[in-house]
Amino acid sequence: MKKRLELLLLLLAGLLSAACMDYGENETEHIAVDDTPGLFIVNEGNFMYGTGSLSYYDIANRTVENNVFLRTNGIKLGDVAQSMTIHKGLGYVVVNNSSVIYVIDIRTFELIKILKGFTSPRYIHFVNDEKAYVTDLYAFAITVFNPRTLEITKRIRTDIAGKSSPSTEQMVQYGKWVFTNCWSYDDKILVIDTETDTAEGYIQVGKQPTSLVIDRNGKLWTITDGGYEGSPYGQEAPALYRIDAATRRVEQVFPFEMGDRGSEICMNGARDSIFFIRSRKEYDNGREVSRDHIWKMSVEDTVLPTEPFLTNASTNHWYGLAVDPNTSEVYVADAIDYVQPGFIYRYTSRGERIDRFQVGVIPGAFCFNYFDN
């Protein structure tokens, strides 16, 4: 659910989301995988239709299995599958609008437990083996749970000195500090002290930072989408930001053009290059169109690249992006029209296409499975 939703609509959805979680009995099958490296693809599905699903791609054999959660467990994944994280051999699948996290076996896809008690969960970060954080779009709090017991232990308030009550998104850690971008109608990177489990402060950036990574030099990188035309929060040109994690000082801002969109910032395995999606206006036979391209730059660069790393010749929507931490191969999720099943494109670290395969509706997130996560 990366696209913006009004709070009233979300509250209505909350009343109906239970209908999108099918706990009825369905036929099941056994789909075990070996220790060959793989890739989970989290397909959001259409909002309010409960069509979220989980796909699994065998990296070495270039084969894909779709709907592995439904086929294994006999129940639907739910409404708006948001993200997935692996920790200590277990996969944690966050289903945003169904307000749950499924804990699954990463070899058999079998359901181990359902974590409940969230409002609109987004991402998980494991601080250690006994503490994990779950960000939330509308709860204005970060939920803390114990990975050993799989029980919720507390909530961290995200309001700072009464100035704001920000939503929270992706997380990265530097020392004892966890940083999380506040995307929905906000312009901050929130700072959490993991020793006290408190929101300690924030870093001011541009409107709506969409994602967050940290490089090998201890620099935070975030990319803003700038809002949208007609937004009550306003609109500005998107930008890429480099921030020193130790001093929390914004070191450089790389501005885009007004009307561009920025999202999905990622890093390669060496953490010395960043990749991101940048949408921009182009002209095709005199007609203005918006196209999504993948851009790459070194963390040492002082200017934006002038040419894309990967060019999208169509007007399909490149919605998700991931870089393999071991090989630096690039995976791009094409949502097409947000209705039909999407496709994943796999490229070498040099931008040469290796594979293309079909997955579920609105593929938006990736999770690499190397069995040592």
Confirm if 160 and 201 have CB atoms less than 8 A apart: yes
Distance, CA of 158 to CA of 141 (rounded, Å): 5
pLDDT score for 32? 82
Distance, CA of 33 to CA of 360 (rounded, Å): 20
pLDDT score for 27? 82
89: β partners: none
pLDDT score for 9? 39
pLDDT in tens, 71-80: 999 999 999 9
| Residue ranges, the chain, pLDDT below 50 | 1-20, 23
Residue 303: how many CB atoms within 10 A of its CB? 8
Distance, CA of 323 to CA of 269 (rounded, Å): 7
Distance, CA of 302 to CA of 147 (rounded, Å): 41
- What is the model's pTM? 0.91
Segments making up each domain of the chain, as ranges: 1-115+362-373
pLDDT score for 25? 57
pLDDT score for 2? 44
pLDDT score for 281? 83
Homologous superfamily of domain range 1-115+362-373 = YVTN repeat-like/Quinoprotein amine dehydrogenase (2.130.10.10)
| Long-range pairs of 182-189 with CB within 8 A, sequence gap ≥ 24 | 182/158, 182/209, 183/208, 183/209, 183/210, 184/4, 184/137, 184/208, 185/231, 185/232, 185/233, 187/224, 188/164, 189/220, 189/222, 189/243
Residue 4 tokens read as: 């913006």
Angstrom distances, CA of residue 25 to CA of 70, 108, 115? 11, 19, 20
